[in-house]
Amino acid sequence: MIHRRVFLHSALAGAAITGFPAAASAQGTWPNRPIKLVVPFPPGSSPDFIARLIAEPLAHALGQPVVIDNKVGAGGNIGTANVAKAEPDGYTLLFTIQGPLVTAPLLTKNLNYDPSKDLTPVTLVATSPNVLVVDPKLGANTLADFVRIAKARPGQLNYGSVGIGSAAHLAMELFKARAGLDIVHVPYQGFPQVVGAILAGQVQAGFMVPGIAIGQIRAGKLKALGVTTLGRSGSLPEYPSFVEQGYADFEAISWQAMLAPAGTPKPIVDRLARELIRIIKSDDVRGRMLGQYFSAAGTAPEALAGLMKSERERWAKVIKAAGVQPE
């Protein structure tokens, strides 16, 4: 299903009626018509929330509507491919998480796009820790408790994720390798299903972004054992990191970014990056992201390109070690 919503500051609406776009078009400047922002995940998802959060101020800054287009399917690959094949004119942009950019090329046979060749990085927008949650009935109050219990019951504990190659899946595979654990992976359609499975006792643990689990954690129905940032997370400072609990350099964050089709003119990419960095670092947007347990980023295009490359190299090693095969 395609879900659209137009963001434009009310003051600009009057400008549009009185000929602002026509004037811009006459000057041949970008942008002189609405911009489509493709989000390859459904309305209400965390990428959709963050995309809508930045779309309104971006529309105001550029003087044109920013239209959210939710092109869902195949773990984000359908919408990502749509942008990768779009005209590189600055009027079709992509807002996505790391999966379609980092792990999809490693885990998907015959993927019909190459993120490193078909997309141009604009900026890293937001990051979030993953939090390891367990069933309180398991009796683990710390990460050390969980490791002790899992080692005493090899192959008997299950963990849930939102699918093979997802950030939640790979974070646990990385932890299993570091801690020497034998825990069975059970994939689910979405995080609500993973939470439900833990509450029902079908699985005993799972990594997930905080916004999904925080209500159940604070209600005492899930137990949080640690976050996957190198230090304490600014959005969840009350929970220790894996590093603090003896796992040096353990990091498995979730992140969201803006990209454009490869070949988009550099002046357009540079202006987008400049406007977005200002928006992302504003007090209002930073505060609203923090309210959803995300930390505002805002980086140069080159920094996002470097992150994509380093993340692909790092997770390729985890995937190989875990024996996960492309599908």
d(CA 104, CA 19): 44
CA 8 to chain centre: 25
Tokens of 226: 């640690």
Contact 131, 228 (CB under 8 A): yes
Model pTM score: 0.81
Q: State the DSSP H helix or E strand holding residue 223, giving kind and residue range, or none if neither.
A: strand 223-227
Secondary structure (DSSP) of 94-112: EEEESIIIIIHHHH-TT-S
Per-residue pLDDT of the chain (327 residues; tens, 9 = 90+): 444 444 444 334 333 333 334 333 333 599 999 999 999 988 877 889 999 999 999 999 999 999 999 998 887 899 999 999 999 999 999 999 898 999 999 988 899 999 999 999 999 999 988 999 999 999 999 999 999 999 999 999 999 987 777 788 889 999 999 999 999 999 887 778 899 999 999 999 999 888 888 889 999 999 999 999 888 876 678 889 999 999 999 999 889 999 999 999 999 999 999 999 999 999 999 999 988 889 899 999 999 999 999 999 999 998 888 888 887
- What is the spatial distance between Cα 24 and Cα 86, in angstroms, rounded to a whole number? 23
**Where do the domains of the chain lie, and which CATH numbers do they carry?**
4-127+254-322 (3.40.190.150), 131-227 (3.40.190.10)
Q: Which two tokens stand for residue 149?
A: 């219990």
